[in-house]
Amino acid sequence: MRALHLTPLLLVLAGPAFGQDASLQRCRVIADTTARLACYDALADARPKPPAAAAAPMTPVAPVAAAPAPAPKPADTFGLPVKRPKGEPETVQSSVGADFAGWGPNQSIKLANGQVWQIIDGTSVSMPRGARNVSVRRGMFGAFHLDFEGLNTSPKVKRLE
């Protein structure tokens, strides 16, 4: 019995939706694409506008020209976790200072070119203090290895800076 009391209310609320559906159907059957688009645009324009939008006048806004960002040098981004840019080198050559005596797990190593690399494979090596030439080379699956001159082991590293 309650459903009978709600039926008129539902019909009153659904009335605008049925009318809009008929209008959409009328636009949908138009074969000419330009005319069909004009029909849909007319439906969108016929919707009631919010009071704030109707009261506020539209003022044109001048586009702001963005300053072009300086392009980074290929060696500046080498090893950082970003999409590999075209022209990035396969290796970077540098050196470590005279106080370098090896590495341990998770140790950070600063190269002479300013790059900082962290050991991530858990290896450790002790060697006599001294400056050494190094190269960081790209490995498989985005890995990087730090090669030391005169040493036949290369720790896996990731770039911090």
Give the Å distances, CA to CA, from 107 to 49, 125, 138: 63, 11, 19
Q: pTM for the whole thing?
A: 0.48
22-37: average pLDDT: 84
Per-residue pLDDT band at 48 (split at 50, 70, 90): low
Q: pLDDT tens, 76-108?
A: 777 776 566 678 888 999 999 999 999 999 999
45-70: average pLDDT: 63
Phi and psi based region of residue 102 (left: phi greater than 0; alpha: psi -120 to 50; beta: remaining) = left
